[in-house]
Amino acid sequence: MNSQEASQRDGRLYQKVALITGAAGGIGAATARQFAREGAQVVLADLRLEAATELAEEIVSLGGAATAVRVDVSDYDSVQAAVQFAEQTYGHLDILFNNAGIFGDGQRDVTDLSLDEYHRTVRINQDGVFYGIKAAGAAMKEQGGVIINTASIYAFIADRRQFSYHATKAAVVGMTRAAALDLAKYNIRVVAIAPSMIDTPLIDPWRSDERVWNTVRKAQMRQQFGRPEQVAAVVTFLASDEASFVNGHEFFVDDGAASFKR
């Protein structure tokens, strides 16, 4: 047994099976790597199957256990198929990281927001989370498990021209609390994270405007962006038995961004 394998055997998620949506990049990819280092068998679910497959191969090359599957979180059948794939591949499902999402809105005021753009954001950010909770919750009924949803500080504060993103992330918080109550009898915990600005491709459109970039950066107390690995560390804790008495709450990973007046 090499040092990597020994470390995984001692990991907080050893022999756990985890499904991560939006796993091909950003927070999802960082979490996949962290889960694997902690001993989990990880299913990387993403619309970008090629990128997810490359990440799975990277994890396997380092001694971890991972495989990839294509998923469209706006389609319940696709989400259910990903859950079934995890069960068929590894025998069961212990952890769902309901992470896939988009910003949407196209930086338009609510009165200029198109119905198509609004409904697209809802389908991915809100319906996709519901679909994950429904499918994974059913799969976990016999042995229990953990569902972690990605909300945002935008569920709690207002920003301009992000109406549908605010709406969907606030919905994720409400769904997290309601699902935690419904699923508690099955020993399934449901929690959420609320990140602020994390340096991922999701915020790439702001990089070209130095004024916007600096304004967004200064929204954090220490005026720096978070790293995907910092969020992954919190998600890993929530997925582990160390958080066994944590349920029905959202956890800010925001360097205080939601806590002070700008």
pTM of the model: 0.93
- Confidence band, pLDDT 50/70/90 cuts, at residue 106: low
90-96 average pLDDT score:
98
Q: How far apart are CA 51 and CA 69, in angstroms?
A: 10
Give me the percent of the chain exceeding a pLDDT of 90: 74
Q: Where are the domains of the chain?
A: 3-201+229-250
CATH level 3 topology of 3-201+229-250: Rossmann fold (3.40.50)
pLDDT digits 0-9 by tens, 28-78:
999 999 999 999 999 999 999 999 999 999 999 999 999 999 999 999 999
pLDDT digits 0-9 by tens, 113-143:
999 999 999 999 999 999 999 999 999 999 9
Q: Which of 76, 118, 165, 186 is catalytic?
A: 165
- Confidence band, pLDDT 50/70/90 cuts, at residue 214: confident
Based on the residue annotation, tell me whether 165 is a catalytic residue of this protein.
yes
Task: Note the pLDDT of residue 163.
Answer: 93
pLDDT digits 0-9 by tens, 177-198:
999 999 999 999 999 999 988 8
